[in-house]
Structure 1
Amino acid sequence: MQLLRIHHAAIIATDYGKSKAFYTEILGLRILAENYRAERHSYKLDLALPDGSQIELFSFPEPPPRPSRPEAAGLRHLAFAVPDVEQALAELRGRGVAVEEVRVDEYTGKRFAFFFDPDGLPLELYEE
């Protein structure tokens, strides 16, 4: 087997409209496709990042909450590579998004910071 890259990450939103606006208007991800699956009472929104990777945003009726954060078993957070973490944080702040302070990875020396989507999913900006 030869794994090439991560194709997509899937996120389930509690408020589809709010999350759709966050990922498209705040983060600027491009919509590839949006489908309503009537039999599941669910939307599936495919969003693209510039490198071709994708986020699938789902809505489901009454999804269970995440047990705890950030150390619950499973996906810990989703990280986005950015050229300048300070600039990206300034843009988020300008759009009303609360962000954490910049930290430095003790092993790589790279700068990073966290912010959260409308459901509290931890998102990271990682400076390349």
Structure 2
Amino acid sequence: MMLLQAIHHIAIICSDYQRSKTFYTDMLGLQVIREVYRAERDSWKLDLALGDQYVIELFSFPEPPPRVSRPEACGLRHLAFAVNDIADAVKTLAAKGVVTEPVRVDPHTGQRFTFFTDPDGLPLELYEIHP
């Protein structure tokens, strides 16, 4: 029997490697673990961490096809990041030029959340949690 322990990472393919690298590191604050250029694939692979947890592999490939995000398409819907103070997180992103949707309240949990997108239109969510 397979026993899942945790999510190991999320892989994201971007259309403009430098732009997405800047977004995920400078705008969102993820830390670079390692960066590798794979010449045989003409592809960059950037491993990123949130705190001390490895979370995202950012890939570049020549001419990746666009992925449908809207209207909502079948498949992975979005990536959500937990925050302690959503107002502060929205303010921080706004200061960096990142536009978020209006903050809403999850009717089932009472927690506040908002959405924004990465440079390729991938939906990202901030979800407020309280310890």
TM-score range, shorter chain: over 0.9
Aligned residues: 128
After TM superposition, the runs of 4+ consecutive aligned structure 1 residues lying more than 3 A away are none
**Distance in 1, Cα, partners of 2:51 & 2:106:** 25
In the TM superposition, residue 72 of structure 1 has moved relative to its aligned partner by 1.0
In the TM superposition, residue 83 of structure 1 has moved relative to its aligned partner by 0.3
Q: Is the 8 A contact 1:70 1:76 kept in 2?
A: no
1:48 match: secondary structure: strand
- Structure 1 unmatched ranges of 5 or more: none
Change (3 A) 1:70 1:88: farther
Name the structure 2 match of 1:81. 82
Name the structure 1 match of 2:38. 37
Q: TM-score, normalised by structure 1?
A: 0.96
Q: Is the 8 A contact 1:43 1:60 kept in 2?
A: yes
1:64-75 to structure 2, matched below 5 A, reads: 64-69=65-70, 71-75=72-76
Change (3 A) 1:56 1:29: same
| CA RMSD after TM alignment | 1.0
**Distance in 2, Cα, partners of 1:76 & 1:70:** 11
**Distance in 2, Cα, partners of 1:44 & 1:70:** 29
**Distance in 2, Cα, partners of 1:123 & 1:70:** 15
**Distance in 1, Cα, partners of 2:52 & 2:102:** 26
Identity within the alignment, %? 66
Deviations 1:20-72 (A, max 9, x none): 00000011100001000111110000000115141000000000001342511
Matching of residue 108 in structure 1 with residue 109 in structure 2: yes
Name the structure 2 match of 1:9. 10
Change (3 A) 1:109 1:70: farther
- Structure 2 unmatched ranges of 5 or more: none
Name the structure 2 match of 1:25. 26
Change (3 A) 1:43 1:54: same
